[in-house]
Structure 1
Amino acid sequence: MKHVKVYGPGCKRCETTEQMVKDAAARVGVEVDVEKVTDPKAIAMAGVISTPGIAVDGKLVHAGGLPDRSRLESWILA
């Protein structure tokens, strides 16, 4: 199981990103545990300068804007 953190204050883009992660995981057949991180201090500590941010298994893979669908799938499969 992959552990995915979605960093953001709870805006529409952050909610969309969370759903995109779940949808991508379902498409590639990988079980994911998605954690939403909304605390500004925790977001900054993770190195996310622009939200939404995504970390997969502790590695920050994306920050700022909606992620590309194919790249999202590759991050989940990695």
Structure 2
Amino acid sequence: MVLVEIFGTGCARCKRMNRNVEIAVGDLEIDAEIRKIESLDAMIERGVMLTPALYVDGEAKVVGHVPCVEDIKQILLGEK
């Protein structure tokens, strides 16, 4: 199972990131747990300074912008 974490405060970009991740996971039909993390304390603890941020299996993959669905697919497949 892949752990996908989306860090963000609930702004429009964070919601778009969440939607794009859900679409990518669904399209790839992979076993993934998607966690939305909105706690500022959790973000600080993990060193997230810009949102939205996308972590896959504990590793930062995207910080400060929203990737398109195709880019997220490549990240989940380990191609980026």
Relative to the length of structure 2, the TM-score reads: 0.86
Q: Give the match's secondary structure for 2:24.
A: helix
- The corresponding residue for 2:36 is 36
Deviation of residue 31 (structure 1)? Answer: 2.1
- The corresponding residue for 2:15 is 15
* 4+ runs deviating over 3 angstroms: none
> In the TM superposition, what are the counterparts of 1:1-78 in structure 2 within 5 Å?
1-78=1-78
Contact 1:14–1:52 (CA under 8 A) maintained in structure 2:
yes
Which runs of 5 or more residues in structure 1 are unaligned?
none
Contact 2:23–2:69 (CA under 8 A) maintained in structure 1:
no
Contact 2:54–2:63 (CA under 8 A) maintained in structure 1:
yes
Identity %: 27
Q: Give the match's secondary structure for 1:74.
A: helix
RMSD: 1.2
Separation in 1, partners of 2:66, 2:40: 19
Q: Give the match's secondary structure for 1:9.
A: coil
